[in-house]
């Protein structure tokens, strides 16, 4: 018989568990605090990698600075020449403002520190949430697997800043189902923040509906089912309204539909492809180990919770960028059920046996003291200040062809540029109108597909036709781009610059 959702511990156990959450002293350390600091120090490094290895970081900062300069949010595109004046919204405006402020204060070191702090806080929070239901070892294994799965997406972009509120939201929904009640009104603040930080909040609304169904289906009788239905319906409506409290109202929700409307063109963008297990073998291994553990141990999930897990797996297998959703949310979804099915996995607040080392390890599962937390924040702040002042952090040339652009400016190159997709963000930050960049919802599926075909010398439209139709005066592509080989043979074009990363061709007049 499947395990049903519902309150998994007795009132006595809850009372003892809550008592055990009180820190031992103001200077007491904890596993989550140590994990958060370790991740922060590891990611906030002088090279800025991997956090600065994504080209979209540039245009997110540029959009944030545009808002700071104009005192409003954009409603039309002002950064490209191909879609200039077309409707476009900065759906992640709050994250972009924070990234721009971090850049203005501390340069790329500031952006790196902000993103590293977001990662550290997120996984520390994930571990703390799991420790409410699980003993330290299974909780740590879940978090370690989540870090490995999510590591390819440790990039200085808005999704990192939304991680903590995403965890807050989902943990609140799960806890409400387990305690047979509707979520607390305070949880609406998480949705409000998420809706302004990152477009993934639409999944949060879907999950709210799914957990509401889980709560209603798992009700003990008709009276409780009716009460839960009404309470969750009220919360769901409030959540939808909270998600609309953005500078764009409900338009931020519609953008998600436009992104998925890109269709097969999503496969052209690396993060929207299915996961590559040849390139990421550890992700495949984690999935196989999880599948083995679930099947061999006879894990039983209630129907709705099982459908939520299957949905998270589907999102990941469909689009590699959703690895963090599966890795970070699945543990929260199943942790209470694991503790209920296998009581030995529950944390025991009265446990006192074992060696001194075991007792100390167990004590670290409890919350850190406020003084220890304040000290870690102070140390992290000093570390970030040193990184900004001494680190000389800068993005890699693969996303920032600064030498090539410097040459273009010195040579007085004017007019429209036909640029590589990964250079679009840098060109926006440099004030150069782009042919294309990372804002897929603006350009649409047909345009992106046509661009990919032309630059790789495929499709019906030839490169020279595109160059003529868009009045292109110069091009900026990586050195090994197939389009460069054709440009070298096209009449009326000559190579003006090349280095190890980028090549420029200009039209001969």
Regarding whether 277 and 410 lie in a shared domain, the answer is no
Is the same domain home to 460 and 316?
A: no
- Same domain (yes/no): 417, 361: no
Boundary (domain end) residue, out of 374, 394, 411? 374
67, part of any domain: yes
Distance, CA of 320 to CA of 310 (rounded, Å): 15
Question: Which pair of tokens denotes residue 230?
Answer: 């009404």
User: Based on the domain organization, do 364 and 427 belong to the same domain?
Assistant: no
Structure token pair of residue 314: 């589907």
The answer to whether the CB of 312 falls within 8 A of the CB of 325 is yes
Mean pLDDT of the chain: 91
Residues 349 and 470 in one domain: no
> Of 301, 72, 78, 69, which is closest to residue 174 (Cα–Cα)?
301
pLDDT of residue 353: 66
- Percent of the chain with pLDDT strictly greater than 90: 81
- pLDDT at res. 76: 97
Q: Report the side by side order of strands in the sheet with 472-478.
A: 416-419, 472-478, 502-507, 493-498
Verify that 319 and 416 share a domain, yes or no. no
136-179 pLDDT, tens digit each = 999 999 999 999 999 999 999 999 999 999 999 999 999 999 99
Residue 479 clears pLDDT 50, i.e. is over it: yes
CA distance 274 to 267: 8
Q: Per the domain annotation, does 294 fall within a domain?
A: yes
Dist CA 87 CA 441 (whole Å) = 10
pLDDT classification of 257: cutoffs 50, 70, 90: confident
Residues 429 and 355 reside in one and the same domain = no
* 303 and 447 assigned to the same domain: no
Output Rg (C-alpha) for the chain, integer angstroms: 25
pLDDT at 360: 77
Domain that holds residue 450: 402-507
Rounded Cα distance, 214 and 6, in Å: 9
pLDDT digits (tens, 9 = 90+) for 63-76: 999 999 999 999 99
Residue 352 confidence (pLDDT) above 80: no
> Could you read off the pLDDT of 22-66 as tens digits, one per residue?
556 899 999 999 999 999 999 999 999 999 999 999 999 999 999
Backbone φ/ψ region at 49: left (φ over 0), alpha (ψ -120 to 50), beta: beta
Q: Which residue carries 């036909």 as its tokens?
A: 418
Cα–Cα distance measured from residue 105 to residue 121, given in angstroms and rounded to the nearest whole number = 21
Within this chain, do residues 89 and 184 fall inside the same structural domain, yes or no?
yes
421 and 310 in one domain?
no
Judge whether 4 lies within some domain. Answer: no
| Cα→Cα distances 27→158, 177, 369, 370, Å | 33, 34, 5, 7
Examine the domain organization and report whether 355 and 428 are in the same domain: no
Count how many domains the chain has: 2
217-245 pLDDT tens trace: 999 999 999 999 999 999 999 999 999 99
Identify whether 443 is part of a domain: yes
3-state class of 493 per DSSP?
A: strand
Mean pLDDT of 297-317: 96
What pLDDT was estimated at residue 459? 79
- Cα 246 to Cα 197, 241, 249, 352, distances in angstroms: 10, 10, 5, 50
185 within domain boundaries: yes
pLDDT value at position 15?
A: 43
Asked whether residue 332 is domain-assigned, the answer is yes
Has residue 355 been placed in a domain? yes
Q: How confident is the model at residue 401 (pLDDT cuts 50, 70, 90)?
A: very high
Q: What is the model's pLDDT at position 413? A: 95
Helix (H) or strand (E) holding 506: strand 502-507
d(C-alpha 420, C-alpha 436), whole Å: 7
Residue with tokens 């906030």: 44
pLDDT digits (tens, 9 = 90+) for 436-456: 999 988 998 889 989 999 998
> CA 432 to CA 331: how far, in whole Å?
44
Q: Which phi and psi (to 5°) does residue 270 adopt?
A: -55, -45
Is the domain of 493 the same as that of 354? no
- pTM: predicted TM-score of the whole model, two decimal places: 0.92
What is the rounded average pLDDT of the residues 411-438?
A: 96
Query: Among 129-138, 180-189, 458-467, which is the least confidently predicted range?
Result: 458-467
Q: Is residue 44 part of a domain?
A: yes
């Amino acid at each position: 018989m499947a395990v049903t959702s519902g309150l998994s511990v007795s009132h006595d156990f809850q009372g003892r568990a809550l008592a055990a959450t009180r820190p031992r002293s103001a200077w007491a350390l904890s596993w989550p605090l140590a994990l958060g600091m370790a991740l922060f120090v590891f990611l906030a490094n002088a090279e800025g990698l991997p956090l600065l290895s994504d080209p979209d970081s540039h245009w997110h900062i540029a959009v944030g600075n545009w808002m700071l300069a104009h005192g409003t949010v954009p409603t039309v595109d002002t950064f490209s020449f191909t879609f200039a004046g077309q409707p476009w919204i900065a759906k992640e405006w709050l994250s972009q403002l924070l990234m721009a402020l971090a850049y203005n204060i501390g340069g790329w070191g500031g952006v790196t520190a902000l993103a590293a702090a977001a990662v550290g806080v997120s996984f520390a929070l994930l571990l703390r949430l799991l420790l409410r239901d699980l003993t330290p070892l299974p909780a740590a294994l879940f978090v370690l697997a989540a870090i490995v799965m999510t590591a390819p997406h440790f990039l200085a972009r808005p999704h990192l800043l939304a991680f903590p509120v995403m965890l807050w939201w989902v943990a609140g929904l799960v806890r409400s189902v387990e305690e047979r009640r509707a979520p607390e009104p305070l949880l609406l603040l998480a949705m409000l923040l998420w809706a302004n930080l990152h477009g993934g909040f639409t999944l949060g609304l879907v999950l709210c509906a799914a957990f509401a169904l889980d709560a209603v289906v798992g009700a003990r009788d008709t009276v409780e089912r009716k009460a839960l239905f009404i309470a969750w319906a009220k919360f769901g409506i409030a959540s939808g309204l909270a998600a609309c409290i953005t500078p764009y109202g409900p338009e931020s929700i519609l953008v998600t539909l436009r992104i998925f409307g890109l269709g097969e063109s999503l496969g052209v963008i690396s993060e929207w492809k299915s996961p590559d297990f040849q390139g990421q073998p550890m992700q495949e291994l984690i999935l196989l180990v999880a599948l083995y553990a679930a099947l061999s141990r006879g894990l039983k999930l209630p129907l709705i919770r099982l459908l939520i897990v299957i949905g998270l797996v589907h999102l990941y297998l469909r689009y590699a960028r959703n690895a963090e959703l599966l890795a970070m949310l699945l543990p929260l979804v199943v942790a209470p059920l694991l503790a209920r099915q296998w009581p030995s996995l529950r944390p025991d607040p009265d446990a006192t046996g074992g060696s001194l080392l075991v007792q100390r390890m167990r004590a670290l599962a409890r919350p850190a003291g406020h003084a220890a937390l304040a000290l870690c924040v102070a140390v992290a702040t000093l570390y970030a200040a040193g990184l900004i002042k001494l680190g000389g952090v800068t993005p890699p040339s693969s996303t920032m062809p600064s030498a090539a652009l410097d040459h273009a400016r010195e040579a007085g190159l004017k007019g429209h540029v036909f640029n590589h997709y990964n250079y679009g963000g840098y060109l926006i930050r440099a004030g150069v109108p782009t042919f294309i960049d990372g804002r897929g919802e603006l350009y649409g599926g047909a345009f992106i597909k046509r661009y990919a075909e032309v630059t790789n010398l495929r499709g019906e439209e030839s490169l020279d036709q595109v160059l003529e139709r868009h009045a292109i005066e110069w091009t900026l592509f990586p050195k090994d781009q197939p389009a460069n080989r054709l440009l070298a043979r096209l009449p009326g074009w000559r190579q003006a610059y090349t280095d190890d990363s980028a090549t420029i061709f200009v039209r001969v007049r």
